Amino acid sequence: MAERALEGLRVVELSQLVSGPYCGKLFADFGADVIKVEPPQTGDRARHWGPFPNDEPHPEKSGLFFFLNTNKRGVTLDIATDQGRETLLELLRDADLLIENNRAQTMRDWRLTYDDVSAYNPDLVMISITPFGQTGPYSDWNGYDLNAYHLSATGHRYCGRPGEAPLEHGAFSADFYGANAAAAWGMAALYGRGVVGGGQHLDVSCAEVIAAVFVGAQNIGGYAANNVFERRTGVGMPLGAPATILPCKDGHVWMLALEPGQWNGLAGVMGNPDWMQLEMFQDMFVRAQNADAMYPLIQQWTMEHTKADIMEWCQAAGCPSTAIYTVAEAAEQPHLRERGYIVDIEHPLLGKMRNIGAPFRLPACPGGPASPPPLLGQHNDEVYGGLLGKSDGEVAGLRAAGVI
């Protein structure tokens, strides 16, 4: 089997919930040796968030923890104790990368700032992922994904109908985007060691990443320049049509046909009804002005067909309309499974679990989740004894003292 792309890279992950663990997962799933450090007894908070089978909480059966921590080794360590801190520094002495998503003040309290850890390992790259970054008035706030998301104005720009209250946004968007940016630029910092020498500290603000990729830097910059910015439109696009969500026989479809070729392709799929042949309807702006009359006519047709048929017929005709899949349908999607994006992993307590694979493809160096997330403290003996060379008595002493 070909070596995985990040084989030989050692990562220490001192993080909980989503942003840090997902960043660590991206390294682990491509072959890096990621050692996840969790608090003794309680472990990562994601272990207690679920979802759980049969809705019965269990720290080893959390679906969130399962997804975020495949292919990692797991140890427990009380960082707040002197012994715990010294043991972590031993782990960092030969590590390439430290990933953490703790409050800046917490890292200062633990004496684990970049200045502290780089004194032990000058080549260490440290990634800090937080809602608001390491500096500024909010840097020490207790923030979460939604705090970062809405600081960026993304909720006001996208979520909800125009003229009504903005809506919240779920799915840890800010955390996942922050983690992806952190992984990409963490690799750049590792590359930089060979170019300029030495490690460095990567400060990732999830709010700033979201501001750039969701709300769009052009909106914030545009408002700063001339007080103009784009506003949320609710469902659909007001300036061109068809561009909206419509019901169909088994759910919903996103109907999009703006360019003349797309519109004529859709007309052909629908049997070229007379009203679609009107010359004025070759213009998407004119169609938008007549959307209230046009959408019910299209809906009559969509309600007669399934979303899969509509999508396939439209695709063949050069029209990019698409099915809107539910989560359950996406999990069974044959395209995703054929690409290896849906994988099965055996877990000692959960049995065979369905999971999603790596979101990137490196055919020469395969990646993706292959082993389940660690049980709490599963690799304590292996890491502290085998990797750090501590005797059985020393490891037992750490355990007896509650450090691990």
Instruction: Verify that 359 and 318 share a domain, yes or no.
Output: no
- pLDDT value, residue 24: 98
Instruction: Verify that 298 and 378 share a domain, yes or no.
Output: no
- pLDDT value, residue 199: 96
User: What CA–CA distance (Å, rounded) separates 319 from 325?
Assistant: 18
Judge whether residue 217 has pLDDT over 80.
no
In a domain, 185, yes or no: yes
Instruction: Verify that 120 and 60 share a domain, yes or no.
Output: yes
In a domain, 227, yes or no: no
What is the domain extent for residue 293? Answer: 243-326
What is the CB neighbour count within 10 angstroms for residue 7?
Answer: 12
User: What CA–CA distance (Å, rounded) separates 105 from 111?
Assistant: 10
Q: Cα 163 from chain centroid?
A: 30
Judge whether residue 227 has pLDDT over 50.
yes
Residue finishing a domain among 274, 291, 326: 326
User: What CA–CA distance (Å, rounded) separates 396 from 393?
Assistant: 5
Judge whether residue 344 has pLDDT over 70.
yes
More confident residue, 331 or 99: 99
User: What CA–CA distance (Å, rounded) separates 205 from 196?
Assistant: 24
Dihedral sign, Cα of residue 46, residue 51, residue 54, residue 56 = positive
Task: Report DSSP letters for 297-341, one per residue.
Answer: HHHHHHTTS-HHHHHHHHHHTT---EEE--HHHHHT-HHHHHTT-
In a domain, 232, yes or no: no
Residue indicated by tokens 């759980």: 52
User: What CA–CA distance (Å, rounded) separates 389 from 398?
Assistant: 14
**Nearest residue to 234 via CA among 224, 225, 243:** 243
Neighbouring residues of 378: CB distance < 8 A, sequence distance ≥ 6: 73, 74
In a domain, 3, yes or no: no
Instruction: Verify that 23 and 116 share a domain, yes or no.
Output: yes
Instruction: Verify that 205 and 263 share a domain, yes or no.
Output: no
Reported as a single tens digit per residue, the pLDDT across 246-289 is 999 999 999 999 999 999 999 999 999 999 999 999 999 999 99
Reported as a single tens digit per residue, the pLDDT across 320-342 is 999 999 999 998 889 988 888 89
Mean pLDDT of 121-130: 98
pLDDT interval class at 1 (50, 70, 90): very low
Residue finishing a domain among 277, 305, 326: 326
pLDDT interval class at 224 (50, 70, 90): confident
- pLDDT value, residue 337: 87
C-beta separation of 56 from 48 below 8 A: no
Residue indicated by tokens 């996406």: 330
Provide the 8-state DSSP code for 153.
T
User: What CA–CA distance (Å, rounded) separates 190 from 126?
Assistant: 10
What region does 323 belong to: left with phi over 0, alpha with psi -120 to 50, or beta?
A: beta
Tokens of 127: 């990634």
Reported as a single tens digit per residue, the pLDDT across 139-189 is 999 889 989 988 888 888 888 888 888 887 777 999 999 999 999 999 999
Instruction: Verify that 249 and 115 share a domain, yes or no.
Output: no
Neighbouring residues of 138: CB distance < 8 A, sequence distance ≥ 6: 131, 132, 151
* Residue 135, SS3 per DSSP: coil
Judge whether residue 69 has pLDDT over 80.
yes
CATH code of 260's domain:
3.30.1540.10
User: What CA–CA distance (Å, rounded) separates 401 from 226?
Assistant: 62
Percent of the chain with pLDDT over 70: 99
Instruction: Verify that 296 and 385 share a domain, yes or no.
Output: no
Query: How many structural domains comprise the chain?
Result: 2
**Nearest residue to 185 via CA among 208, 204, 205:** 204
Beta bridge partners of 201: 126
In a domain, 313, yes or no: yes
User: What CA–CA distance (Å, rounded) separates 321 from 298?
Assistant: 12
Please give the biggest Cα pair distance in the chain.
Answer: 86
Residue finishing a domain among 293, 326, 359: 326
In a domain, 5, yes or no: no
pLDDT interval class at 133 (50, 70, 90): very high
Whether cis (ω within 30° of 0) applies to the bond prior to 57 is no
Judge whether residue 2 has pLDDT over 70.
no
In a domain, 219, yes or no: no
Neighbouring residues of 334: CB distance < 8 A, sequence distance ≥ 6: none
Instruction: Verify that 140 and 265 share a domain, yes or no.
Output: no
User: What CA–CA distance (Å, rounded) separates 45 from 290?
Assistant: 52
Instruction: Verify that 252 and 206 share a domain, yes or no.
Output: no
Reported as a single tens digit per residue, the pLDDT across 23-46 is 999 999 999 999 999 999 999 999
Neighbouring residues of 94: CB distance < 8 A, sequence distance ≥ 6: 10, 121
User: What CA–CA distance (Å, rounded) separates 175 from 168?
Assistant: 15
In a domain, 392, yes or no: yes
Instruction: Verify that 342 and 299 share a domain, yes or no.
Output: no
Instruction: Verify that 287 and 371 share a domain, yes or no.
Output: no
Instruction: Verify that 173 and 134 share a domain, yes or no.
Output: yes
C-beta separation of 85 from 385 below 8 A: no
User: What CA–CA distance (Å, rounded) separates 377 from 241?
Assistant: 56
Backbone angles phi, psi at 93, to 5 degrees: -60, -35
CATH code of 54's domain:
3.40.50.10540
